[in-house]
Amino acid sequence: MSRILITSALPYINGIKHLGNLVGSQLPADLYARYCRARGHEVMFICATDEHGTPAELAAAKTGEDVADYCARMHGVQSDLAEGFRLSFDHYGRSSSPQNRKLTQHFAGKLYDNGYIEEVSEEQVYSKADGRFLPDRYIEGTCPNCGYEKARGDQCENCTKQLDPVDLIDPRSAISGSTDLEVRETKHLFLKQSALKDELDQWIDSQAGWPVLTTSIAKKWLHDGDGLRDRGITRDLDWGVPVKRGDADWPGMEGKVFYVWFDAPIEYIGATAEWAEATGRSESEWERWWRTDKGADDVRYVQFMGKDNVPFHTLSFPATLMGSREPWKLVDYIKSFNYLNYDGGQFSTSQGRGVFMDQALDILPADYWRWWLLSHAPENSDAEFTWENFQSSINKDLADVLGNFVSRVTKFCRSKFGESVPEGGTLGEAETALIADLERRIRSYEKQMEAMEVRKSAQELRAIWAVGNEYLQTAAPWSVYKEDPDRAAAIIRLMLNLIRVYAVLSAPFVPDAAAKMLEGLQTDDTSWPDDVEAALSVLPAGHAFTVPEVLFAKIQDEERDAWQEKFAGTRD
């Protein structure tokens, strides 16, 4: 058994996330976490709401709430939606937690002591209309790189280029919309990433198995143009982690907070500390996941994120950990994703475009969305959600293949043998061939899951479902029963056991359907089919079962058309 630490990029607190956000980090992370647990590994799966910075302040201002109250409310909303999508976090924390505040200030102190933070006087944009300096995300304008007209002052959402507010063309205040801006001098702290460039470069080079998407983005930021730049890590804001060196005040930094992209990744550690406190565990219990001097040297750490988050996780966060010169666990593998687009356009939280998590659950249960999103995950290139493709995938994969198999087997058994696993009959060459085929395909499924190849894993799982359907159609127990009831009994006994195997294999993708299958079979045996032949005899003759309710209803054309019209691109 291995120990596996899994973190998903933190969703911003500023509203409900769309399906593109979900498939870009949290959902594939959950898939992997569920699979690792099923294989017997010790898993710590961590996520949290990212609550500091401009997005939180702007969102709270729109609702008229105090920012702390807004964040507390939205954390509850996002927690409920995560549960609705069956995201199996060990802890879903908050970057505003006392644990994260303490850790952020601790890292800042260590970095300063080691010479990796310096105070810099710089020019920043000041809004006369708002009477304040405008941190990067309070400024919008046209991206000088791609021409996107709603780029933010820290990064262009369209092309992902890192920006400074002064780079924007025709900048305006995101608070008031005012263009009456001027540049004034202010003092901030900078993380000297450039001093760690060679160390970061060597570390990235040592990660031979990382996805091309991850390493290519990291290398681009390291070497393109002027190379890795030092990064400001403080802002003129009221909401955030106050600037301190550990427990000590930081002269000249009064009234400033740490930049959200400095404290947010530290919350991975903070949320694990929150977990320890919430579950009554000691500090050593979270440290064994994060400090190599406390046991984390045998942990495999995997991160999941969209490609826009890669620079901060391959450069800035590792620089923070390395620069502390303390024995913190560095990530072993970063699984990054491209973008999921929506029906000819883009999903966008800021623009309210696409289907959002709450809306999705109002339409259909979580498993429908989980299956489509994971089986179409944007791994090697951007992907696109269309209602036609969604309908086709659900109907063909879930309803016609998996759901139909479970229904046919259980209903036929009930009609001919009653609601218990039938006895009698022996297996023949066809069943031996089936078992061999399943053995090969399940091992291939495991290989893809362990490699975190999400789409390929879904393809292998569907192929495993299809094998059972093809065998059932060929074996035709409904025809065999007329001449040889014992032979039909042997076939159905094998198929009922195959349903249990399907439930175990499918649980990472469609956990609710898997639970219904096991409930119908009246078993809590979720043992992994390491030996397929043995796994297909777990339920003995005489074992009672009930016919499960319909696992997946087909999506009708009129439903598809109505949803396509309702979600034509803008959230109400």
The pLDDT tens digits of the residues spanning 396-412 come to 999 999 999 999 999 99
Query: Is 413 assigned a ligand-binding role in the annotation?
Result: no
504-508: long-range pairs with CB below 8 Å, 24+ = 504/38, 504/528, 504/529, 505/442, 505/445, 505/461, 505/464, 505/529, 506/402, 506/461, 506/465, 507/34, 507/38, 508/30, 508/31, 508/32, 508/34, 508/35, 508/38, 508/449
Predicted pLDDT of residue 137: 75
* Sign (positive or negative) of CA dihedral 264, 266, 270, 272: positive
> What is the SS3 assignment for 76?
helix
Q: How many CB atoms lie within 10 A of CB 219?
A: 14
Query: Is 36 assigned a ligand-binding role in the annotation?
Result: no
Rg (CA), the chain: 27
| Domains, the chain | 3-111+262-365+377-384 (3.40.50.620), 116-196+206-232 (2.170.220.10), 386-535 (1.10.730.10)
Residue 393 host element (H or E): helix 387-393
- Of 520, 519, 525, the closest CA to residue 539 belongs to 525
221-239 residues labelled b (16+ CB within 10 A) or e (exposed):
bbeeeeebbbbbbbbbbeb
Distance CA 431, CA 429 (A): 5
Which residues of the chain have a pLDDT value below 70? Answer: 225-226, 349-352, 569-572
Which amino acid type is present at position 104?
T
Residues 454, 25 contacting (CB under 8 angstroms): no
Q: Convert the pLDDT of each residue in 182-217 to its tens digit.
A: 888 889 999 999 999 999 999 999 998 999 999 999
Mean pLDDT (the chain, rounded) = 94
Phi-psi region of 569 (alpha: psi -120 to 50; beta: other; left: phi over 0): left
Distance CA 153, CA 137 (A): 5
Predicted pLDDT of residue 488: 97
Phi-psi region of 336 (alpha: psi -120 to 50; beta: other; left: phi over 0): beta
Query: Is 71 assigned a ligand-binding role in the annotation?
Result: no
Query: Is 410 assigned a ligand-binding role in the annotation?
Result: no
Query: Is 349 assigned a ligand-binding role in the annotation?
Result: yes
- Burial of 559: CB neighbours in 10 Å, binned 0-12, 13-18, 19+: middle
